[in-house]
Amino acid sequence: MALIIDGKKIAAGIREELKTEVAALKAHLGDVPALAVVLVGDNPASATYVRMKGKGCEEAGIRSIQHTLPGSATQEELLALVDRLNGDPAVSGILVQLPLPGQIRESAVLNRINPVKDVDGFHPVNVGKMVAGDEDCFFPCTPYGCQILINSVVKDLKGRHVVVVGRSNIVGKPIANLMVQKNRSANCIVTICHTAAPDIGYYTRQADILVVAAGKAGMITGDMVKEGAVVIDVGANRVPDPADPSKTMQVGDVNFDEVAPRASAITPVPGGVGPMTIAMLLKNTVKAFRLQRGL
């Protein structure tokens, strides 16, 4: 049976380190990093994520600032708020919770955030720096967390074959770019496969490290994974709970019961990649504070 990669435990360790670092910054400067989170509308899932991010900030000693706009807010109103936050020296990082209502173009908003405050890592400047191998930027939080999980179980990645299922700008493309870089945390051979592949299993069976971010419950089955592979499941799908059909449960993109006996290590869902995303957001916020202060 595979080693279960405990993302919750690893994320807790990162958050404790950040708590110590923030306390030291406060003692030295009399100030702490601040994260401004913008929520537009009343999407329940988005509201939950925002609360979790606020709690994470509080526990780490980071100041959390929440701005909530009605679902009817215009793109111009949201951009005006982003501009104000960009110009506020007390704000270290800005996060606009996605998805946004249909009347607002997400790219226009994300591109408006000052790159030095873009702790989500979605601004084209940060994306470009990441692709170029420049670490003076912010990596998208979920892929960044995936890389740390991989590093926790594979100490020498040189020449390992990473196969990524999914090509989103949020996970698939960034993790591929992170893992191909020539550094100790990566240096891998990388393949990206997606819905255009006639046989995804042909590629996944070649993976030493398989990262699945396709958004389809249980799509990776046991016969699609090489014996001894490390499997990182980014999926977070809601499906009916077999024990109570009136309820739902969270499952990944990997059929855990089939894949775990073949893998050498695997992330569970929940408790794997999910906790890492907020931990890396907090880490990026502290990094933004340091960059802005020239530390």
Phi and psi (nearest 5°) for 203? -85, -45
The reply to whether 97 belongs to the active site is: yes
- CA–chain centroid gap for 128, Å, is 17
Q: Are strands 161-165 and 93-96 parallel, antiparallel or unpaired?
A: unpaired
Catalytic residue among 53, 117, 283, 287: 53
Catalytic residue among 97, 129, 181, 208: 97
Q: Are strands 209-212 and 189-193 parallel, antiparallel or unpaired?
A: unpaired
The reply to whether 156 belongs to the active site is: no
The residue ranges of DSSP E strands in the chain, in sequence order, are: 3-4, 34-40, 63-69, 93-96, 161-165, 189-193, 209-212, 230-233, 237-241, 244-251, 265-266
Dist. CA 67–CA 65, nearest whole Å = 7
Count Cβ atoms below 10 Å from residue 145 Cβ, excluding itself. 29
**Residues 175, 217 contacting (CB under 8 angstroms):** no
- Per-residue buried b or exposed e for 236-252, using 16+ beta carbons within 10 Å of the residue's own CB: bbeeeeeeeeeeeeebb
The reply to whether 283 belongs to the active site is: no
Task: Please identify which residue in the block is written with the tokens 């070649």.
Answer: 206
Catalytic residue among 118, 120, 233, 253: 120
Catalytic positions, written as ranges: 53, 97, 120
